[in-house]
Amino acid sequence: MKFGILVNEGPYQHQASDSAYQFTKAALEKGHEIFRVFFYHDGVNNATRLTVPPRDDRNIVDRWSELAKQHNLDLVVCIAAAQRRGLLDENEAKRQGKDANNIAEGFRISGLGQLIEAGIQSERLVVFGD
């Protein structure tokens, strides 16, 4: 089965990101395809490379980055939600006149059309968080 994944909550204030990660990992291990993982609303906070959790805690951002690298996943961050929360890739930082970017490896910023495409191309769009 081909899945699209929508993550609407940040990595540490809600269970949604952990659940989305575990679902995605399990689906891949069972041979399913993940068309795209789209991060929206506070879910865009899963893509900041500046997250530094305590050593005894899980690093959700690194988990997503590693899973993307292992399985060539398309991790897309909503541009409007990202900008509202101060999350920028190199191109957006330049375009907005900012002196730094903070997007983690394996993630990319794009628009809501990527979510619509995921819904069309996937057999199921699984939503995590409100």
What digits encode the pLDDT tens for the residues 84-105? 999 999 999 999 999 999 999 9
| CATH number among 3.30.70.260, 3.40.1260.10, 3.30.420.40, 2.40.30.260, domain 2-128 | 3.40.1260.10
Please say if 10 is a catalytic residue.
no
pLDDT digits (tens, 9 = 90+) for 29-77: 999 999 999 999 999 999 999 999 999 999 999 999 999 999 999 999 9
Query: Whole-prediction pTM value?
Result: 0.96
Going across the sheet that includes 124-128, the strands are: 107-110, 75-78, 33-39, 2-7, 124-128
pLDDT at position 94? 95
Task: Say which of 78, 88, 103, 104 is annotated catalytic.
Answer: 78
List own/partner pairs for 14-17 with CB under 8 A and 24 or more apart.
Answer: 14/42, 14/129, 16/43, 16/128, 16/129, 17/43, 17/46, 17/60, 17/128, 17/129
Residue 120: which pLDDT band, with cuts at 50, 70 and 90? very high
- CB of 29 within 8 A of CB of 71? no
The ranges assigned to domains in the chain are 2-128
pLDDT at position 85? 97
